[in-house]
Structure 1
Amino acid sequence: MSEAARGTEVRYHHSPSFPGVLADAGCALLVSTYQAGQLVAVGVADGRLTFSFRRFDHAMGVAVGPDRVVVGGKDQVWTLMDQPEVAASVAPAGRHDRCWLPRSSVVTGSIQCHEVAWGSTDAGEPDLWVVNTAFSCLAGLDGRHSFVPRWRPPFVTRLAPEDRCHLNGLAMRDGRPAYVTVMARSDEAGGWRAARNETGTVLDVASGEPVTTGLAMPHSPRWYDGALYVLNSGWGRLERVDPATGEREVVATFPGYARGLACHGHLAFVGLSKIRETTTFGGTPLAAYHDQLKCGVGVVDLRTGETLATLEFENGVDEIFDVQAVPGARCPTLGDGEVWVLPSG
């Protein structure tokens, strides 16, 4: 089918198990697509996958709160409010149970906002943390400043828009930042690029010290159910880390650059991207298999490492940045119709 007049055509296919796995998990997914500039809501209706797309320039980190979703973009951080009264009226009427619509944004400028995450203040109020990759720090937002620096690795000696270590991922624990991923412990402008396949590190936020190192371009650290997980992206692996020893166990391996991780129940939803040699991905261990790599989402049983279901985008989307689960959601919508989504065939 030719390109649709109102947007971009996207074709996909999935394993027969995917709708059932998602329905049984009792959640929907929000997936951000950096290159394609879309936030995608994935749900299930009548036993089939449903998709809703909304455009955000360079959509990256996604944070899901009780009544809102935050999306990091090229030079803004967007807030989408949950509109349950609207959901039922979005066509086809009666299908959708959740609807998030953009209601505000903070203009940050080009800070290379990667992951965003909800925490909580001492008073129990929601507290948004932003991974500010350009300035190598964790930050907050307010109405006056581009960002408010809140933490940076101890080896980064000053705030400067130089992407010194490529700080890109954040794991929260008990409402506070606990772990971050960097591609190298570098204090030079762009210094992480020199040996990025061997220098990836998970840092402990409290101490600033390495928890484990030697990863290939890691992303998406997560503290979940008493365990620390990280995506060893350049190898396409989901790994479990022992914070006491730094030892890592491979949980599962995927046919794609692994970036974006959501844990829900006993499942891990992992974002997969293709590799374009002209990008930073070029030269990673997976690059040798670039013509075999997939873009989509893999679903893994954290107990066994078994891949239970897969979703693959055939065209229109080549890179996934983040994946978030929305517990209790069945068939959400973003209230937008810019993209036509068609099954193969």
Structure 2
Amino acid sequence: MVTERGLQVLRAIVQDYVDTREPVGSKSIVDRHAFGVSAATIRNDMAALEDEELIAAPHTSSGRVPTDKGYRVFVDHLAQLRPLSPAQRAAISSFLERPGDLDDVLVRTVRALTQLTGQVAIVQYPSFARAHVSHVELVQLGGGRMLVVLVTDTGRVSQRIAFVRVEFDDDALARVRAGIAGLIVGKSVREGAQLVLEHLAVVATQPTEEDTAIAAIAAVVAEELEDFRQDRLVMAGAANLARREADFRGSIYPLLEAIEEQVTVLRLMSEMTADEQGLAASIGRENEAFGLSEASFVASDYDATGSRARVGVMGPTRMDYPTNLAAVRAVARYLTRMLEDDDAAR
């Protein structure tokens, strides 16, 4: 059982170790923090924390460092998050205030967050499985190329090139557009994808030249609608792992592989348990089942027109949890407001 002063000593050890990267001793705690007790008393508190496996000696030094369990207790007992400075809030605003489609907004979100925290920034796309297609546009680019633009009612915009091998006059292009729109506009992403696949099966029997072109466009549409249904991540700041490699006990390669493949990070982010404020943390060995026991994740929920997703950061266990949690919460709230305003404008 950890006493209240023991928790304060643990908090001091975590804060000093994050700040200095040096093991923390009882004398330095007495010098830096106003506990009003002797170094001997602090040593007794540290011995109790070590018995609880909340701190450990990295080598023969008299100093101690937090364990993964110690970081977890520290995060669970945070009285408050460190407020962001006006400069940090201005940085979030400057990154996110410009209008743009959802893809652009999420890219700017992770760029802002990695600059704020110095960690790998991660944002989940909201689920579009229940989204509806609101608009389709076709633009001839010449050389048998057709730009296919799809828009959903949740703000997702997709642009892909279809190769149709034929040039359409205005009337034919209008017919093709109307045909594609008739299949998917107003339909859910799931239903639209199915209808397009059924249409492809029909026109494959006795296709005219126009049918062949429509089929090429429809195939691109089907791929995009299927992609809309897939959970995806946007990430930035992978280079920060290399800069902080000394903070990892082992190799950073499993983290780099997870960033490249995304699936593992997506599962981990989705399964983290959030508190009543929508904040979640998964620390060190808590991520062992995902092969990421060297890393910690902190995240906050955001809302995208009724579909919840997460924005967060990944880094070593020796991270500034109060500041990082405050940063992901602030970015999540700003992102939610921005998407709500954009939805209201539509």
TM-score over 0.5 (shorter chain): no
Normalising by structure 2, report the TM-score. Answer: 0.24
Instruction: Choose between structure 1 and 2 for higher RCO, CA contacts under 8 A separated by at least 6 residues.
Output: 1
Larger radius of gyration: 2
